[in-house]
Amino acid sequence: MSDSITPALIGVIVGIISTLLTIFLTPRIQHYFWVYQRLSDMRLPVIKEFNNLAAEFLNNYLNDLKYHPTDQFFKSFMVVTANIKALFSQKAFDCFKEFEVMIGPDLGPSKGSTESFIRARDTVLRALYNEAIGKIGKKGKV
């Protein structure tokens, strides 16, 4: 009789332990993924705004080599800077800061070349997207 009770008792104990682990771990695992998703949801509009501002600056600079960004442009750029600092790693922010020196009155691509401006922008975008949605290779593949 004891031989038939032992496997049943082990099954009940394993069932109870599995249930308790599920009750304990499921909310924590769900919370982890929820936080990751929310962080991505907050990061993506910042990346889009950065890309828009970089494109606006480059477009205006190429149309007028004496282009001076407006106060509104700098205000928007300061907001993006603060958001990148708050939402991304220090490594990504440092990458952004290397690009940031190319933005300003009488600076722009003239500090380097238009190609170096685009390469720096692309490097920042890659770093930001890597943190927002995962590893992206040089060709943009996930």
What's residue 142's pLDDT?
A: 44
* pLDDT band at 111; cut points 50, 70, 90: low
Helix (H, G, I), strand (E, B) or coil at 16: helix
What's residue 54's pLDDT?
A: 94
Residues 33-80: pLDDT tens digits? Answer: 887 888 889 999 999 999 999 999 999 888 887 788 899 999 999 999
Give the pair of three-digit tokens for residue 90.
Answer: 């220090």
Nearest Cα to 84, choosing from 73, 72, 74, 96? 96
Cβ 124 vs Cβ 51: under 8 Å? no
**pLDDT, averaged across the chain:** 85
* pLDDT band at 137; cut points 50, 70, 90: low
Residues 78-107: pLDDT tens digits? Answer: 999 999 999 999 999 999 999 998 886 556
What's residue 107's pLDDT?
A: 61
CA 18 from centroid of its chain's CA atoms: 36
